[in-house]
Structure 1
Amino acid sequence: MIAPAHHADVVIVGAGLAGLSAAHRLTSAGLTICVLEAAPEVGGRMSTERLDGFRLDRIGRLLSSSYPELRRTPGLDGLELRPFSPGVLVHSEGRRYRAGEPGSARWGSPQGVGGALTAARALASAPRASTLLGNALDQARLGAALTRLAATPAPRLLARPELPTGTALLRRGLPSRTVRGFLRPLLAALLCDPELTTSSRCADLALRAYLRGGLCAPAGGASALTDLLTASLPPGTVRTGVRAVSVSTTSVVTAEHGEVRCRSMLLATGARSAAELLPGLRVPSFHPVTAFHHTAPVAPLAEPALLLDADRGGPVAHTAVMSEVDPSRAPRGRVLISSTVLGPPGRGLDRRVLRHLAALYGTSTSGWDLLAVHHDPDAVPAMPPPHDLRRPVRLLCGLYVCGDHRDTSTVQGALFSGRRAARAILTDFGIRPQADKKVPLPAAA
């Protein structure tokens, strides 16, 4: 319970990735912090439901082990990442093509950018590879483009002309078959944007991260990130079940516990909730996401790979046997299949998903049981061009805002936005921010 007239140096509204990462940096600088979360638990869109021994992510965002903020954020040194290995499988015309593991350096080490060619070479050597990549010249163009992208520093990528991603890929000389067969399903999984309307700069950053590190999932579910950050804060810092109804530079008024006074306020909620508390903030459009979680008598794929659909033959954009990727997400001896549908739900979606999964995995799904369905219409803020990757986090002295809607709509963007907000607050308090220290991420077996 929050006592009336409770005081803190900074009150943070929202206990998602951005708010918790900012809280950790501010407490490390000696400030007293109070984090208020309206939900009964922390995490926001990164929450994980626990059901009969299964751990089911709310929207299941993919991570790249090369995200810099996973190493720079204090409190995440205990994070374990489980790789999708051997990377991705692409389903097309009834066959699955192995795309391999990009980035020979697992867990994000930037050594050997030549590993960026792995995906293109693996696909090119597969039977009927022309189905996905075109002829030999097309495949060579793809390999060269991936190698250049992986080796290009991020500032140079951000200086490129900005276009919708689909248009930019074609204007770079990549054949439409290559874009449709490999890059579109991959980028749809990374950006949750199947139509590739995202800013090409944001897509370049996402694809570069994939090429340099590969895809992974946090051991124990998406909530592992926010749980680690919460556990590393002083006891009592985070208070759940407390809903803010108004905010200012000197106080936050809550529905249940009255006023919480402060010297500064950081709004770290989703974009829509932030605009409700601070009218005038821009609310972007969103990519809706629906996550389906099934269990089956046997694993339909006995490897921890991410399966993409190049043909758009059904509602599922990507799917994985998550109990193979991360055994801690299912009880011993049980199977967990998690699948992502991009777009709004429609009638009969459950049945259409099962039919599509049967085609993707090449097996009957009649014996599969549905564990849970999570739909979020505001899952991922859209990033159409022109997109400002560094929207201001300081609205005025004492009033700040952060979240993936102020940066890029990724885990990297949320963490980086929290870091930017913490630095702005410390600067206004006259405190010199500490230098960031990279922490090692243990490679999970």
Structure 2
Amino acid sequence: MQEQVDAIVVGAGMAGLVAAQHLTEAGKTVRIIEKGKQAGGRVRTDVVDGYRLDRGFQVLLTAYPEAQRYFDYNALDLREFDSGALVFHGRQHQLFYNSQRHRDRFVETLRSDIATLRDLTILMRLASRWKRSSVEDLFNQDQITTRKFLDKQGFSKRFIDRFLEPFLIGIFLESELETPQRMFEFVMKMFSEAPAAIPAKGMGVLADQLVAKLPEGSLVFDEEVRNIRTGSVKTRSGKIFEAPIIIMATDPTNMLRNYVEEHQPYRSVANLYFSADQAPYDQPLIGLNYGGSRWVNNVAVLTNLSKELAPEGKHLISVSVIRDTEHGERDLQKIVKSELAQSFGNSVLDWQLIRSYFIARALPSPSMFDIELDDQDVTYHKGIYLAGDYLLNGSLQAALYSGRRAAEVAIKSVVETPLSSSSSADEDSPE
């Protein structure tokens, strides 16, 4: 089978869906070729026995400029996290709140054994700076590591160990905090400007909103791209799609022979979802576990935010493990439950595992963290363009923005000429 369209997008993740939206709005006929059965890429939600499970613990930073551009927040029915965390280690539980967002909690936070007055003062000073600074300003800074930046600011070791480290490990999925300062400050600016939230029915509805903007028939599922050349794409099943615009909105390493993989390694995470009759805590907060020998980094009782994520009377609990592990699902859940039982009691041992996700490619780790893409950054070859968060940084903001930029550059630069099977870019084929 052969089909001719104006544009082909390879990959139906966030970047691909946004690219397709812009191409469609420009009057192009588009086919999005996706090897899986569902759109969304890493931002998907599975329904298992009435539980709605995101593929890895994820939140929407509602301050993301690109998210505000593309999503209808009211329709998402967002459920907001309180700005802070339940910090725990063993039997010790303490609440930490962002005093700028929860002023009535300042004294409670100060009395905790998490942060000193100096720590809170430094945070407030930085928050003021983040408010004044543009995103571009933050990314124009030198790339010292987050760890060095935190030490330089004068935060106490206690505050770093008990709050900042587990909080940031959960975001960046790396324990040494080698992520550049610019990315840390960008993320903190986003957290300080607007709440983190999840849609009432899971993060997968983000993809649903984007798909709904596309014409019927735009998406082609269960087709794996095997061969790419200027002007055409061939799938494993033998189908050929021809178009003057091709946007690679997935990892191009195995599809474009001459593409140099500069953005590895990816960062991994194990995410386990449990069902429980009783929640370990009641607040709409993330739970942060500290201590050098810990397995669990963070916990979230998602039904504290949205009851729609679980059957009536049940709680849905997400547990994230950042450590490298060779343990299988059965052994890892035993380790996790045993560790959490020390903090939340033996009722944890009655939790029922719903599903676990071992996500080897959870976040890209680019060599340079950036926020903007020039035309050449998204142009692989005449007629072939790149999109994906790996081009910038591991974030939803980067994925959405890269999809937009790839489409903009493609629309601007493509020359409408008859397609030819004898393209000069035959070398782009992986075969």
TM-score range for the pair, normalised by the shorter chain length: 0.7 to 0.9
Tell me which of 201, 204, 228 is aligned to 2:182: 201
TM-score, normalization: structure 2? Answer: 0.88
Tell me which of 348, 358, 361 is aligned to 1:378: 361
Tell me which of 404, 410, 419 is aligned to 1:419: 404
Tell me which of 331, 354, 359 is aligned to 2:337: 354
TM-score, normalization: structure 1? Answer: 0.85
CA contact 2:10–2:249 (8 Å) conserved in 1: yes
Query: Does residue 1:281 correspond to 2:260, yes or no?
Result: yes
> Which residue in the other structure is 2:322 paired with?
342
CA contact 1:87–1:214 (8 Å) conserved in 2: no
> Which residue in the other structure is 1:221 paired with?
202
Distance 2:242 2:355 in 1: 40
The 1:209/1:86 distance shift into structure 2, 3 A limit, reads closer
CA contact 1:344–1:377 (8 Å) conserved in 2: no
CA contact 1:94–1:359 (8 Å) conserved in 2: yes
> Which residue in the other structure is 1:332 paired with?
312
Residue pairs, 1:7-156, within 5 angstroms? 7-73=4-70, 78-85=75-82, 87-92=84-89, 94-100=91-97, 115=100, 118=102, 122=105, 125-126=108-109, 128-129=111-112, 131-134=113-116, 136-156=117-137
Q: Specify the code of the residue in structure 2 equivalent to 1:375.
A: F
Partner secondary structure for residue 44 of structure 1: coil
Deviation, structure 1 residue 210:
0.8
Q: Specify the code of the residue in structure 1 equivalent to 2:62.
A: S
Q: Deviations over 1:193-245 (max 9, x none)?
A: 23211111111111110111132112211211112211221000001101100
The 1:207/1:363 distance shift into structure 2, 3 A limit, reads farther
Distance 2:89 2:137 in 1: 34
CA contact 2:54–2:202 (8 Å) conserved in 1: yes
CA contact 1:62–1:217 (8 Å) conserved in 2: yes
With 144-153 and 54-63 compared, the bigger mean Cα shift is at 144-153
With 137-146 and 55-64 compared, the bigger mean Cα shift is at 137-146
Distance 1:228 1:413 in 2: 18
Deviation, structure 1 residue 362:
4.5
> Which residue in the other structure is 1:316 paired with?
296
With 251-260 and 341-350 compared, the bigger mean Cα shift is at 341-350
Which runs of 5 or more residues in structure 1 are unaligned? 103-114, 432-445
Q: Specify the code of the residue in structure 2 equivalent to 1:395.
A: Y
Tell me which of 369, 378, 389 is aligned to 1:387: 369
Partner secondary structure for residue 317 of structure 1: strand
Which runs of 5 or more residues in structure 2 are unaligned? 417-431
The 1:346/1:85 distance shift into structure 2, 3 A limit, reads same
> Which residue in the other structure is 1:266 paired with?
247
Distance 1:25 1:79 in 2: 21
The 1:101/1:32 distance shift into structure 2, 3 A limit, reads farther
Distance 1:72 1:320 in 2: 28
CA contact 2:295–2:321 (8 Å) conserved in 1: yes
The 1:318/1:180 distance shift into structure 2, 3 A limit, reads same
Distance 1:416 1:265 in 2: 17
Q: Specify the code of the residue in structure 1 equivalent to 2:230.
A: T
* Aligned-pair identity (%): 28
Tell me which of 277, 290, 294 is aligned to 2:274: 294
With 220-229 and 146-155 compared, the bigger mean Cα shift is at 146-155
What's the C-alpha RMSD, in Å, of the aligned pairs? 2.3
> Which residue in the other structure is 2:424 paired with?
none
Partner secondary structure for residue 189 of structure 1: helix
Partner secondary structure for residue 89 of structure 1: strand
Q: Deviations over 1:327-363 (max 9, x none)?
A: 2211122211111111333333221111222234355
* Count of matched residue positions in the alignment of Structure 1 and Structure 2: 408
CA contact 1:65–1:81 (8 Å) conserved in 2: no
Deviation, structure 1 residue 92:
4.2
Deviation, structure 1 residue 93:
5.8
> Which residue in the other structure is 1:108 paired with?
none
CA contact 2:366–2:392 (8 Å) conserved in 1: no
CA contact 2:83–2:195 (8 Å) conserved in 1: no
Distance 2:158 2:128 in 1: 19
The 1:198/1:125 distance shift into structure 2, 3 A limit, reads same
